[in-house]
Amino acid sequence: MKKAIVIGASSGIGRALAQVLSENGYSVGLAGRRENLLHELTRELPTPSVVKVIDVTKTNEARQLLRELIAEMGDVELFVLSAGVGFVNPTLDWAKERDTIDVNVSGFTATVNVIVDYLESRGSGQIVSISSIAALRGHRAAPAYNASKAFMSNYMEALRNRFHERGLPVVVTDVQPGFVDTAMAKGEGVFWAAPAEKAARQIFSAIRKRKEHLYVTKRWRLIAWIMKAAPDWLYHRF
């Protein structure tokens, strides 16, 4: 049976993707902060799962717990990094900026480094990171969020380059969703918000095809093109 670990499996895209992976025959390691939600999820999955409570902001502890989870599962070939936070923060409230950096930058880097070490010793595998279309440009409403997602996407590109230089068949998949109907996409009537299950199924399709990049849902490719092409004077109006 194939094995995968989803970090950030207690809710949102991570939870939905864990369900899709299990439906497709994967044994899934479920990592996240909220133990009750992880155990609730494991009862819903058709394949065996292992729960490990991990708070990625406690970086040293998180790294050790992730190593333990890998050892408990044995021969894990797929890792999904879906832990993330984000705030609309035009006032630059430091607590919100700090929390975003702690999870999306420090926590991400601490855990992905453990994964890289493991997959390099294993010799193959796949890393999937749930970034955001917000990675494409900075925005005044959420400076730390956009910047942290840009960090993630850039870091994933660096890892892809690293594995290529070492001649290792490790696939690095950078997923950049638009709005997905999760707790992070706050507010009613959010533009083009996709159900988490739909997003998860598109991500799983990209995993099977061993793609290196994906916009979710696919129509967000148009928005990405507009964002990247827009001159500063136009972009700053939005």
pLDDT in tens, 49-64: 999 999 999 999 999 9
With cut-offs at 50, 70 and 90, classify the pLDDT of residue 210.
Answer: very high
What 3 state SS string does 143-166 have?
HHHHHHHHHHHHHHHHHHHHHHHH
Domains in the chain, number = 1
Catalytic hit among 26, 145, 155, 215: 145
Domain containing residue 17: 3-235
With cut-offs at 50, 70 and 90, classify the pLDDT of residue 163.
Answer: very high
Note the pTM of the prediction, 2 decimals.
0.92
Mean pLDDT of 118-122: 98
Tell the burial category of 119 from Cβ atoms under 10 Å away from its Cβ (0-12, 13-18, 19+): buried
Residue 224, domain CATH: 3.40.50.720
Verify whether residue 235 is a known catalytic residue.
no
Select the more confidently predicted residue: 151 or 217: 151
